[in-house]
Amino acid sequence: MLALYVITFLLLAGALAFVHVPALAWLAGMAAWVAAGAFAGITNVIAATLLAIVCVLPPLVLAVKPLRRALISRRIFAIFRKILPQMSSTERDAIEVDTVWWDAELFSGRPRWDTLLAHGAAVAIADLNQTGADAVAEAIRGKGGKANRHRDGRDGRRRRQSGY
């Protein structure tokens, strides 16, 4: 009888995970199943405790946000802070200006163009890019326009000769 109860328990857990039941509902279902087995006399105290430790305790830690933050997230973030490089000033500026949402939306795989275009960010970015391109072009014109010319007026680029 105990083997059938455990197999049914595992099938129930797999079914709940397969249909993507929210974590709190999964936790409630597993806790109710363990309690029902203990109250019905199907499982003894040791089996009920083992099932609770293996199948109820992990979802409890993952489902309850304060527990998850205290026991898991804080430790994982501490490890990642040691591993990852420091944030550059450019990245910090982008986050402070709040422009990273544009990149996140754009590279999400299915950007919502109506959202992007509604904020006018495309126009602002296009203006910024054009301003940068104009500055580069002006610098090239100012520095190299006359310096790259030969005394006879040729501009230093090779001309394609006939016969190739």
Q: Is a pLDDT exceeding 90 seen at residue 76?
A: yes
- Using the predicted structure, report yes or no on whether residue 162 has a pLDDT greater than 60: no
User: pLDDT tens for residues 142-161?
Assistant: 655 455 555 555 555 555 55
Cα–Cα distance measured from residue 48 to residue 40, given in angstroms and rounded to the nearest whole number: 11
Going 121 to 123 to 126 to 127, the CA torsion angle's sign is negative
Which pLDDT does position 142 carry in this prediction? 66
pLDDT tens, position by position, 2-47: 788 878 888 888 888 889 888 888 888 888 888 888 888 888 888 8
Q: How confident is the model at residue 126 (pLDDT cuts 50, 70, 90)?
A: low
In Å, what is the CA distance from 138 to each residue of 117, 132, 150, 158?
A: 30, 10, 21, 24
Domain definitions of the chain by residue range: 2-81
- pLDDT confidence of residue 157: 53
